[in-house]
Amino acid sequence: MRLLPPVTTPQSAVPILTPLSDTQLAKNAPLPLTPQTPYSQLNDEAINDSGQPDTSTRTRYPTVTDAPLSKSQSDALAVELNALYKSVMDSLGSEDARYIQRIYATVVYSELVARGLLAVAGRMSSRRAQIGTWLLGTSMLSFSKILNNMELGHNVMHGQYDWMQHPHLNSQKFDWDIVCPAPLWQHSHNYLHHTFTNIVGRDHDVGYHLIRVTDEQPWTPEDRYNMFSTAVLAFGFEWAVAFHDIQISVDEYADSPDLHKIMQQKSRALFAKIGRQVSKDYIVLPAIVAMTLGRRSALSTLSGNMTANTVRNLWTWAVIFCGHFTEQAHIYTHLDTDESKGDWYVRQILGSSNIKGNKWFHILTGNLSHQIEHHIFPDMPASHYASIAPQVKAICHKYNLAYNTGRFSTQLRQVIGRIHHFSKPSEQEWNAYKASMSDTSIERETKPAVKGGLGRFLPPVVRQALSYAW
């Protein structure tokens, strides 16, 4: 029995694109945007999209163009999964509330202790004590930032705890400790990714516009550097996430008369969040430590913050990619015009991969190591994924659906293999590319001009955001 009162407002599940706050908007008033249908409310209504010719089904890196189950089978699957979802959601109560509050407290106190250790590390008398204290402080800060990002921020902003009506731990108000504002991430992730999961051209998390991971993405010479691009993405993952929504929103709102206002709102919110995060970790905190404990303590604080952010980025990238781009994670060419809730469940299952591990491993992944369970029940508190995983697996086997799971090392190796594989063109792709480049005059005419100054060294999406912000 639910012990805390449920939220009954339309926003109680998962917000798609929430209005930005006054602090985020600074001088701009919030611009009301048309709400989209949350993934948690998908039903048997049609979702229109253009179809593509049938290409392949069972390959090393599968691309799917048709549903593997009949309509009656997918409907039956939906009934079983809906019943499982309802049984868990009806049981939510005080224990779930205490769990997420303990996670929040752990994030806060571990960060405080970590920053204290980094500050005093510079005051240690011996080099050995300095290094040891710095390593301990950096490890604790990395732990705190990972927990903040994964088990706390990701799950709270999915609306998993909105039923608590907590003044802070809800999807409308919570914002995590990275440079991406919550509303921008909720639009690109909660709505686009979870609704159109792994559909090329609709789910922009497929390769994050940087990495080729399927044959359905046309090969270009830049794809030769897939491995390098992946390394850049991994080390700066929070920055890729931050600018991700800017990149895709330009196309999404291209036909809107309010395009400039929408993009200005998003861009200003983004740069405001970047300013706060960069100032906190790299200017304000080191400056305070410098004034109180001296230069060496400031340097240990600065280096610890940089290292912890990098560790968090690498960990988050690894978990996310292992959940979506393993060898048998399915990519889709299009969305069926008559996709039902059962078909949607099937697409989530086949397009996701789990990672085996112990309890603490799952917590540090935000339980995204149960990516299959997360994708079919994204607004279910993630702490329940481990307990329902055997039931989900049994249902998948009943309907002859692959339940992709494996050790972390195995899944990561498959991800790297997939990225390397798609860095090279097939003979057909290479010939098609050479044919497209035969008319060099067209290329010169369509190639965008590069502005001078320092801006030419910035990625196009950053220049785009700057142009809208000011």
CB 375 within 8 A of CB 353: no
CB 373 within 8 A of CB 388: yes
Q: 333-347: b or e for each residue (b if 16 or more CB lie within 10 Å)? A: bbbbeebbbbbbbbb
The three-class DSSP label of residue 331 is strand
The domain spans of the chain are 18-30+37-469
DSSP state of 354: E
Q: For the chain, what is the mean pLDDT?
A: 83
Mean pLDDT of all residues in 86-105: 95
Task: Give pLDDT tens digits for 311-360.
Answer: 999 999 999 999 999 998 998 887 777 788 999 999 999 999 999 999 99
CB 34 within 8 A of CB 26: no
- End-to-end CA separation in angstroms for the chain: 52
Q: How much is the pLDDT for 26?
A: 37
| Confidence class for position 17, pLDDT limits 50, 70, 90 | very low
CB 152 within 8 A of CB 104: yes
Tokens of 287: 């400056």
Task: Give pLDDT tens digits for 264-322.
Answer: 999 999 999 999 999 999 999 999 999 999 999 999 999 999 999 999 999 999 999 99
| Confidence class for position 367, pLDDT limits 50, 70, 90 | very high
* DSSP notation for 135-173: HHHHHHHHHHHHHIIIIIIIHHHTTTTGGG--SSSSTTT
- C-beta neighbour count of 131 within 10 angstroms: 13
Tokens of 10: 């339309």
Tokens of 91: 């049981």
Q: Is the pLDDT of residue 181 over 60?
A: yes
Question: Quick one: which of 448, 445, 444, 446 has its CA closest to 460?
Answer: 448
Q: Is the pLDDT of residue 20 over 50?
A: no
Tokens of 212: 């080729």
Of the given ranges (15-19, 329-333, 360-364, 444-448), which has the lowest mean pLDDT?
A: 15-19
CA distance 459 to 462: 5
Q: Is the pLDDT of residue 211 over 50?
A: yes
The type of residue at 261 is K
Tokens of 364: 């540090």
CA distance 405 to 328: 10
56-65, 92-101, 207-216, 420-429, range with greatest mean pLDDT: 92-101
Of the given ranges (10-19, 21-30, 268-277), which has the lowest mean pLDDT?
A: 10-19
Q: 170's torsion region: left (phi>0), alpha (psi -120 to 50) or beta?
A: beta
The type of residue at 11 is Q
| Confidence class for position 439, pLDDT limits 50, 70, 90 | low
Higher pLDDT, 252 or 422: 422
DSSP state of 355: E
Q: Is the pLDDT of residue 41 over 90?
A: no
CA distance 204 to 335: 14
CA distance 319 to 375: 14
Higher pLDDT, 11 or 384: 384
CA distance 331 to 63: 5
| CB-based burial label for 43 (10 Å; 0-12, 13-18, 19+) | exposed
CB 272 within 8 A of CB 465: no
Tokens of 406: 């494996």
CA distance 304 to 22: 32
Question: Quick one: which of 387, 382, 358 has its CA closest to 368?
Answer: 382
CA distance 172 to 170: 6
Residues constituting the chain: 470
